[in-house]
A and B are shown apart, each in its own frame.
Chain A
Amino acid sequence: MMNFDYVRPANVADAIAAASEKGAVYLASGTNLLDLMKGGVSRPSRLVDVTRLPGLDRIERLDDGGLRIGALVRNADLAHDAAFARDYPAIAEALLSGASAQLRNAATVGGNLMQRTRCGYFYDAASACNRRWPGAGCDALEGENRLHAVLGWSEGCIATHPSDFCVPLVALDAVVEIEGRSGRRELPLEALHRLPGDTPDRETALEPGDLIVALRLPAEAQGFAAHARYVKVRERTSYAFAVVSAAAALRIEDGKIREARLALGGVAAKPWRAHAAEQLLAGTAPDAAVYREAARATLAEARPSGDNAFKIELAQRIVVRALTLAAAGTPARIPALPGSPFSSVAGA
């Protein structure tokens, strides 16, 4: 690990000033950053420790019915907050399907959003990677790529964004609150992460010094609590990134889907919102044929980036399964046990 300068500012303004200089990055719990630094993938010259910034570790109910989650709330604390799990069950389910218990105890909400889009070649300093070294090329294109992206990828980069948490968040129109050099601004989470295009090294819409201070869920997000699921398929039962995942949330009234929300994980460099499928589902009666049509629409533009054509079929099946489970109703015990094949949880 390259040596660095460590600072722990007392307030947000000082943090922004300290992080605006070239080579400076924010440090929250460091579960992703320190791992990348140990591998020589990230080489910051200064760490700006934000873990003691006041007021960023709270979950607040807003007067307009929304929810504001401070960027320093730990993933485990959010998932196990009973009111949160009741109101946003698919988000709690996604949080608990991510990483391990130790990592969830440490990892923060803001840090989860800012974890890197990555693959094995990004981690391997001996491999060519445009994301790590702009212009170097991409060894994943001709390498081991069965888990890589099928949507929104470019020749520049085919890696996927590994967050589970972000998938239901983007489906539920989460908004990111940012403090930066020019003051406070907001961004829909869907606009935070960028597709690779010609500049895979530019991962987010954030500018130098920008600090995520909170995540907000609009009041409408609670309206899906009765029919919301997160389904994750991975290569082992626990503690693995998604091969494909899907968050489905439905508002069902009088036997009809009034409104549908759908997003996929593990398929692209960002959490993938399926707007076309949502349109198709709205106004229909919950039915397998409609789910299959929604699944086809979601993957219509998909193309394999390597040995991963199977993910296009798999993603469609996961969409159908997530919609089926969501329509059946949120389980009584939320978060349900993450996708174990031995699980006794009904409907899983």
Chain B
Amino acid sequence: MNHSISLTINGVLREVALADPRVTLLDLLRERLDLTGTKKGCDRGQCGACTILVDGRRINSCLALALSHDGAEITTIEGVARGDQLHPVQAAFIAHDGFQCGFCTPGQIMSAIGLIEEGQAGDDPERVRECMSGNLCRCGAYSGITEAVLEAHANMTAAKQRRSA
């Protein structure tokens, strides 16, 4: 049976027909919509490389059935920069060497954006590490990642305060 779903991906409405119900959001993004920034690592919810935002919340796209997310608003790594202007989390990852090979980086960045939005870690590095534990980095860039998330959080909080002042 053919199913048709619509998703708003990085602000663009996409209609997709699915002949096979087994397609995950991850496979849909990569194989059907040519959005290969989201990575497939373990494909079992353990590594976090496939992290995206669905309706503003970070989830593992490998464990999300596309059909079940009909109508959702999705943000991937391709949708976070504004033209040439990097997202503050992207800039902080570069400033702090928050990666080496780069494979886990899109997932790390999406997870960090989700974490800062959740507001659960603040400026506590131990809480940042705990809240980022769903993203593995086999190069071991964890210390840079933690520093990047802390700096991005500080910069984004300051920018928000400036806007509301």
In the complex, which residue of chain A has the Cβ closest to the Cβ of B60? A102
Q: B63-71, B88-96, B97-105, B151-159: which lies at the A interface?
A: B63-71
Scan A119-141; emit 1 where CB is below 8 A from any B CB, else 0.
00000000000000000000000
Q: A243-251, A285-293, A339-347: which lies at the B interface?
A: A339-347
User: Are B59 and A102 interface neighbours, CB within 8 A?
Assistant: yes
User: Are B126 and A344 interface neighbours, CB within 8 A?
Assistant: yes
Does A337 sit at the interface, judged by CB under 8 A? yes
Does B24 sit at the interface, judged by CB under 8 A? yes
User: Are B133 and A30 interface neighbours, CB within 8 A?
Assistant: no
Does A105 sit at the interface, judged by CB under 8 A? yes
Among B45, B57, B58, B129, residue most surrounded by chain A Cβ atoms (within 10 Å): B45
User: Are B67 and A6 interface neighbours, CB within 8 A?
Assistant: yes
Shortest A123–chain B CB gap in Å is 10
Does B106 sit at the interface, judged by CB under 8 A? no
Q: Is the interface of A mostly helix, strand, loop or mixed?
A: loop
The contact of B126 among A99, A106, A239, A342, by CB within 8 Å, is A342
Question: Which of chain A's residues have a CB closer than 8 A to the CB of B68?
Answer: 8, 27, 30, 49, 51
Among A27, A29, A101, residue most surrounded by chain B Cβ atoms (within 10 Å): A101
User: Are A102 and B21 interface neighbours, CB within 8 A?
Assistant: no
A103 to B60, CA, bound (A): 7
Does A4 sit at the interface, judged by CB under 8 A? yes
A101 to B133, CA, bound (A): 8
A106 to B114, CA, bound (A): 13
Scan B29-71; emit 1 where CB is below 8 A from any A CB, else 0.
0000000000000011100100100000111100111011000
In the complex, which residue of chain B has the Cβ closest to the Cβ of A1? B22
User: Are A6 and B21 interface neighbours, CB within 8 A?
Assistant: yes
Shortest B53–chain A CB gap in Å is 10
- Given A80-B120, A238-B129, A106-B21 contact (CB < 8 Å): no
Does B14 sit at the interface, judged by CB under 8 A? no
Does A315 sit at the interface, judged by CB under 8 A? no
- Given A38-B43, A101-B118, A106-B59, A5-B130 contact (CB < 8 Å): no
The contact of A30 among B1, B3, B63, by CB within 8 Å, is B63
Shortest B7–chain A CB gap in Å is 15
Contact count band on A: 35 or more
- Given A27-B68, A31-B45, A51-B68, A237-B133 contact (CB < 8 Å): yes
Scan A22-62; emit 1 where CB is below 8 A from any B CB, else 0.
00000101110011001100000001010100000000000
Shortest B131–chain A CB gap in Å is 5
Does B134 sit at the interface, judged by CB under 8 A? yes
User: Are A337 and B130 interface neighbours, CB within 8 A?
Assistant: yes
A337 to B133, CA, bound (A): 13
Does B127 sit at the interface, judged by CB under 8 A? yes
User: Are A103 and B45 interface neighbours, CB within 8 A?
Assistant: yes
Shortest B97–chain A CB gap in Å is 22
- Given A4-B22, A102-B58, A342-B126, A238-B133 contact (CB < 8 Å): yes
User: Are B134 and A102 interface neighbours, CB within 8 A?
Assistant: yes
Does A182 sit at the interface, judged by CB under 8 A? no
User: Are B65 and A102 interface neighbours, CB within 8 A?
Assistant: no
Residues A281-314 near B (CB distance < 8 A): none
Question: Which of chain A's residues have a CB closer than 8 A to the CB of B21?
Answer: 3-6, 47
User: Are B134 and A101 interface neighbours, CB within 8 A?
Assistant: yes
User: Are A106 and B65 interface neighbours, CB within 8 A?
Assistant: no
A-B pairs with beta carbons under 8 Å apart, 10 shown: A5-B21, A27-B68, A100-B48, A101-B115, A101-B131, A101-B132, A102-B111, A105-B59, A106-B64, A237-B133
Residues of chain B at the chain A interface (Cβ within 8 Å): 1, 3, 20-22, 24, 43-45, 48, 51, 57-60, 63-65, 67-68, 111, 114-115, 118, 120, 126-127, 129-135
* Sample of 20 further A-B pairs with CB below 8 A, known A47-B65, A343-B126: A1-B22, A3-B21, A5-B21, A6-B21, A6-B67, A27-B65, A29-B64, A30-B68, A34-B63, A34-B65, A38-B43, A101-B133, A102-B45, A102-B111, A103-B45, A103-B59, A103-B60, A105-B59, A238-B133, A342-B126
